[in-house]
Structure 1
Amino acid sequence: MLPIGSIAPDFSAETTQGPIRFHDWLGADWAILFSHPKTFTPVCTTELGAVARLLPEFQARHTKVIGLSVDPVEAHERWAADIAATQGHAVTYPLIGDADLAVSKLYGMLPADTPGSAEGRTPAANATVRTVFIIGPDKVIKLALAYPMTTGRNFDEILRALDSLQLTSAHKVATPADWRPGDKVIIAGSVSDAQAKELYPAGFEAAVPYLRIVPQPR
């Protein structure tokens, strides 16, 4: 799988909202690309519905959402009806059809030498196509999470991680374990104590020299 810090590869693909060139579609926004091993799979059905429900939260963070499944676009369109009926939220974001496995292989979710197409492949054969990528406006992969098929993804956690990534990209801070927006943060290790005193004239907590705590910047 592609490591964080690498450029998200560009590609052209058919989606449920027409053809895209990925980097052009990204524009200057943040983006979440999350993948699925097959259409009409139960756990993925709930996940696509969860993202549809949370779409306004992603939009408020200037973040585009796009799904991918190893099947043709036509299958995604039929699947969308099931998602709306069972999850109560219609999928209004694009879904990539990856029938030729090109994007799955490009992003390291399937081996580059995987033969053939989606036809005849089972979800188990595509079990590694279960990744969430958060991509920054600079087209760099900021986060990658891979899940097994039996464990539904927690998109509230993905929103939390997105909030952290956006905060730490704008300020020289890091977020501690279990951080939530509004909680205290850690001054980045790249900031000297002298610089920290300039940035935070009200001071900071430091139980040990390398763990300097301040209120979240606004």
Structure 2
Amino acid sequence: MSLRIGDNAPNFTAQTTDGEINFHEWLGDNWGIIYSHPADFTPVCTTELGRTAQLKDEFKKRETKVAAVSTDDLNSHNGWINDINETQNTKVEFPIIADDDKKVSTLYGMIHPNFSSTSTVRSVYFIDPNKKIQAVITYPASTGRNFAEILRVLDSLQLTAKYNVATPVDWEVGQDVIIPPSVAQEDVEAKYPKGHRIIKPYLRYTPQPNK
């Protein structure tokens, strides 16, 4: 059965390019992203892992750990890192999980049999510090991920976990957010001291609380 938002993120122990990790212990109190790749030494995956490495400081700023996984073995991963570093002008410093037994891919439902019985699709799981899955994005092998969107989703998840707001279409950090319909109008002024504007009774905006 596929994992859904609100489910516990399955724990596992695996060999990675950074040594053996227990996934939950490795995450600690951080947010986490685990994402899959169809295969090592492939062009789209190489650009994606390179982009992840280039965004190291952005993930660190968000207190988020990132781990990649594919169904190739550790030797393959270690060799591939050299290519990623060379072609993407970066340095991979996050773990790539060796999953040649498909244990992790199966736990997270990353193998879609109608696509392939052996290779993963491009799944992304966003995990909060309580080890709960908060968002899932899935792409086919032919479509490289948009990491600006991954960071945007992460920003929204972290904001809405801390404050009682929602983020509107195309929202980016610093823009106005939405007051949920569950908040009664008579309570809005006290709960959102930065002010608010009403478009419709159910559509109310307020400045981002932490900006």
Counterpart residue identity of residue 191, structure 2: L
Q: Aligned with 2:148: secondary structure?
A: helix
1:188 is the counterpart of 2:189: no
> Matches of 2:96 and 2:16 in 1, distance apart?
5
> Matches of 1:126 and 1:40 in 2, distance apart?
16
Contact 1:32 1:135 in 2 (8 A): yes
Counterpart residue identity of residue 187, structure 1: I
Residue equivalent to 1:104: 105
Superposition deviation, residue 167 in structure 1:
0.6
Superposition deviation, residue 188 in structure 1:
2.0
Superposition deviation, residue 38 in structure 1:
1.2
Superposition deviation, residue 202 in structure 1:
5.1
Residue equivalent to 1:80: 81
Counterpart residue identity of residue 209, structure 1: P
Superposition deviation, residue 31 in structure 1:
0.7
**What is the aligned length?**
208
Contact 1:104 1:129 in 2 (8 A): no
Residue equivalent to 2:153: 161
> Matches of 2:84 and 2:174 in 1, distance apart?
34
Equivalences for 1:7-46 in 2 at 5 Å?
A: 7-46=8-47
Superposition deviation, residue 5 in structure 1:
1.1
What is the CA RMSD across the aligned residues, in angstroms? 1.6
| Identity score, percent | 51
Q: Aligned with 1:173: secondary structure?
A: coil
Describe the superposition over 1:183-210 as per-residue Cα deviations: whole angstroms up to 9, x where unpaired: 0000123322222221124542111111
Equivalences for 1:49-128 in 2 at 5 Å?
A: 49-110=50-111, 124-128=116-120
Q: Aligned with 1:162: secondary structure?
A: helix
Contact 2:31 2:129 in 1 (8 A): yes
Q: Which runs of 5+ in 1 are unaligned?
A: 115-122
